[in-house]
């Protein structure tokens, strides 16, 4: 089954605020909104929103056994693993196993994520 589809809409509009869900363990810091998903393969596209002052240091760095792409839509996010600020327009195509985070933000940040969990590298 292919990824879900939807007509044009604005997930960043205030009227869609109720569609955002807190990330487990990160309530009041980070929320997500799935834009499309393939329920068979697990591939998904989502937005992740970090509130101003969010700090995931207590959760440490992370990596995935699958590739993912990210694009900073707005704001900025500090990635401790890379010792750099990711600002609006920054893009990365992360290979499987790449360590990233933890993250902090002063202004807040919205990130577009495209993940491919079905492409796990052994």
Domain contains 22: no
Closest CA to 27 of 59, 5, 2, 1: 59
Summarize pLDDT for 12-68 with one digit per residue, the tens: 899 999 999 999 888 889 999 999 999 888 889 999 999 999 999 999 999 989 899
Domain contains 4: no
- The CATH number that applies at residue 65 is 2.60.120.10
Closest CA to 68 of 103, 38, 98, 37: 98
Summarize pLDDT for 65-96 with one digit per residue, the tens: 989 999 999 999 999 999 999 999 999 999 99
Domain contains 42: yes
Count of domains forming the chain = 1
The predicted pLDDT at position 119 comes to: 78
The predicted pLDDT at position 76 comes to: 98
The pTM assigned to this predicted structure is 0.90
Domain contains 99: yes
The predicted pLDDT at position 6 comes to: 81
The predicted pLDDT at position 82 comes to: 96
Domain contains 76: yes
Contact 103, 80 (CB under 8 A): yes
The predicted pLDDT at position 117 comes to: 79
Domain contains 63: yes
The predicted pLDDT at position 1 comes to: 61
The predicted pLDDT at position 87 comes to: 97
* Residue 57 lies in domain: 29-115
Domain contains 57: yes
Domain contains 61: yes
**DSSP element (H, E) containing 74:** strand 68-79
Q: Which residues pair with 16 in a beta bridge?
A: none
């Amino acid at each position: 089954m292919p990824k879900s589809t939807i007509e044009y809409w604005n997930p960043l509009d205030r009227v869609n605020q109720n569609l955002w869900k807190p990330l487990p363990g990160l309530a009041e810091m980070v929320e997500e909104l799935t834009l499309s998903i393939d329920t068979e393969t697990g591939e998904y596209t989502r937005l992740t929103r970090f509130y101003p002052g969010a700090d995931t240091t207590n959760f440490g760095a992370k990596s995935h056994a699958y590739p993912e792409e990210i694009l900073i839509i707005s704001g900025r996010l500090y990635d401790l693993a890379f010792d750099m600020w990711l600002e609006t327009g920054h893009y990365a195509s992360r290979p499987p196993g790449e360590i990233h985070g933890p993250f902090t933000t002063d202004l807040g940040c919205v990130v577009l994520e495209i993940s491919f969990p079905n492409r796990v590298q052994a």
